[in-house]
A and B are shown apart, each in its own frame.
Chain A
Amino acid sequence: MTRTFKIGIFDDEGKFISTIRSLQEQKFLIFEVFTPYPVHEVFHLLKRRSRLPTAAYFFGLFGIVATLAFLYYTSVIDWPVIYGGKPFNSFPSFIVVTIVVTIFTVTIASLGLFSARSKLFPGRDNTIFDLRATDDKFVIVVDTNFPDISTAGKAGTIMEELGAIEVIDKEFDNVEV
């Protein structure tokens, strides 16, 4: 399906933010914005949030339980060996390995989740709306099919009025973000 987007390009963070605000007030659908660095204001305006920390907490919990269970199984059940007269379940000395393996689990699992959710992996070809977004421009992409294609022109006018250095119409066959 071919979709048409109106792309506003800004070189000033302040103007970019106020444009997002007024586009939202006018009920335009902001498809996505692209910035050269994280702009926290944008996260609030577009209601972006990340549940990665919650997931990481559960990865950690899993890591602790799994590691301790593994250590207990190997040292107490499967092949008990007495080291220096210590009990088979020498819990205090298991802690070190548990901490390290838990950290490792959290890291790898969070990275995996990040990669899956953000769709970032080798060979991934996300749609690049404007090349300059990774350099020094702030880019707003408005979906022109919403609320109505006839009002799309107005979104362009708003962006231009509020300081976009350029407003472009672009068509994409397959949009992947």
Chain B
Amino acid sequence: MYNKKIRGPLIEGNKSIGQITKEIASPMDVQPGLWWYIAFVISSAAALFGGYAIYVTVSKGIGTWGVNNSVGWGWEIVNFVWWIGIGHAGTAFSIFLLILRQKWRTSINRAAEAMTVFAVMCAAIFPALHMGRVWDAFYIFPYPNTRGPLWVNFNSPLFWDFTAITAYLLISASFWYLGMLPDLGTIRDRTTSKIKKAVYGLFSMGWTGSSRQWIRFESLSFILGGIAAVLVVSVHSIVSTDFAVGIEPGWHTTIFPPFFVVGAIFSGFAMVMTLMVLIRKIYKLTDYVTDNHMDAIARILIFISLIMGTAYLTEVFIAWYSGNEYEMFTFFKNRITGDYALHFWGMIVCNALVPQLFWFRKIRRNWVGLLSISLIINVGMWLERYNIVVTSLSKDFLPSNWVSYSPTVIDIGVFVGTIGLFATGVLLFMRYIPMMAISELKSVANIGDKKED
């Protein structure tokens, strides 16, 4: 029978399963290199700067930001949507590919899920701060209160957003932790340090790998995966309705939910790529995250990039086709040629054009190419959100409302702070948690190997 190999082995180098444990767990046994400490200092300094910006915001109010009466949503909402988008990949990656039984996810899902949890944590900071009185943030929670009880508006996308993001954060954290249980058990059983044994023993919650535990573990993974797959689509659709129910030209479109979801998965996959390029390079794990894995992510990125390009064109086309003068103004005068043309064209170049370079096999297999294009995509996705939020608000129906928007140091500080928080989280993850799902890797150890032919 004609039996051509389309993909190479999932794990290269004919590893025995003992070797897999050793190689994935070894970064946790040794002190990290100097680079880790330097990166940690830089990222925690950035996080501290963010802490200062948040302190100023909370103590003085959001007047310290660049927002004004017309542009009521500035960098904070841009950054919120950007982080939530990045936070999609992890679960999109591990859950969609789990349900589709794509085994190549096994080397990447742990890092992708970690990234999701940190990104959603960063995202959640912004809407909380945007409430102005962050100490009253619990008002959004529908609980029997002494104000009536006056309930929240369950018809409001802003409330849906709160529900969706809270649920998403907790569910992706649970999913991540659940997947980690067997590996924490592995670390507990192989370590010789007493402290580590106690700590990992506590967190592994008595995992032994018995058949009873495994069957329940697998069945729970599928339940959570199946049900959380809906969230991957719903969370960013809900974020998009925050905009789409507004009547601002450029926001009030039905394309928004799918457009946002695809954009979220786009930026998320790009961030997964950034992280995996670094992890495989630094920890020399190229046998586990092979060139084929990176190739597969790059192919997905080309595909999504084409969808993004189509969506941008559709928006512009519909603005023209509708004949609505406000829509025409927003797209043709304000975005394509106006004050924010740089952002618009930056978005087009970064999201729709540059990723097309992935058509070349040489670029898909070159780590510099992968790293730089994945970073460019995330810059592009940031510009896209900026483009959506700021251009529509700065010039709406009434010319007397028109103002320009620019961020203040505090705006920038909060953003830098979240990047610091994210990077700190990722660094701690690399240090203390197995970066790849060891037990899952073991189950695919021989797939695509010569032995199976």
Contacts and interface: CB of A to CB of B under 8 A. Distances in A.
Nearest to B223: A56
Contacts of A71: 154
Interface stretch (B155-163, B339-347, B356-364, B409-417): B155-163
Interface in A73-129: 74-75, 78-79, 81, 83-84, 86, 90, 93-94, 96-97, 99-101, 103-104, 106-108, 110-111, 114-115, 117-129
How big is the B interface, by class? Answer: 35 or more
A104 B167 contact: yes
A172 interface: no
Contacts of A120: 181, 205-207, 213
A66 interface: no
Contacts of A46: 211
B220 A110 contact: yes
B167 A100 contact: yes
A34, A36, A71: residue with the most chain B Cβ atoms closer than 10 Å: A36
Contacts of B228: 103, 107
A37 B203 contact: no
Contact of B211 (A35, A60, A104, A121): A35
A26 B15 CA distance: 35
A100 B209 contact: no
A64 interface: no
A5 to B, nearest CB: 13
Nearest to B237: A96
A63 B17 CA distance: 41
Interface residues of A, number: 66
A96 B149 contact: no
Given A38-B218, A107-B171, A110-B223, A125 B151 contact: no
Given A134-B189, A135-B190, A111 B220 contact: yes
Contacts of A53: 219, 222-223
Contacts of B154: 71, 74-75, 93-94, 97
Interface string A35-60: 11111001100101110110010001
B3 interface: no
B234 A128 contact: no
A103 B18 contact: no
B164 A79 contact: no
Nearest to A128: B208
B443 interface: yes
A125 B208 CA distance: 10
Interface in B186-220: 186, 188-190, 201-203, 205-220
A168 B440 CA distance: 28
B231 interface: yes
A38 B158 CA distance: 42
Nearest to A104: B167
A134 B21 CA distance: 9
A156 B171 CA distance: 45
Interface of B: 16-18, 20-21, 142, 148-151, 153-156, 159-160, 163-164, 167, 170-171, 174, 178, 181-182, 185-186, 188-190, 201-203, 205-220, 222-224, 227-228, 230-231, 234, 238, 439-440, 442-443
14 contacts: A32-B212, A36-B186, A36-B442, A37-B214, A75-B151, A96-B164, A103-B167, A104-B170, A107-B171, A115-B205, A121-B205, A126-B210, A134-B182, A134-B185
Given A37-B214, A100-B231, A134-B190, 13 more contacts: A50-B215, A52-B223, A56-B227, A70-B142, A83-B153, A96-B234, A108-B174, A114-B216, A120-B205, A120-B207, A123-B205, A128-B189, A134-B182
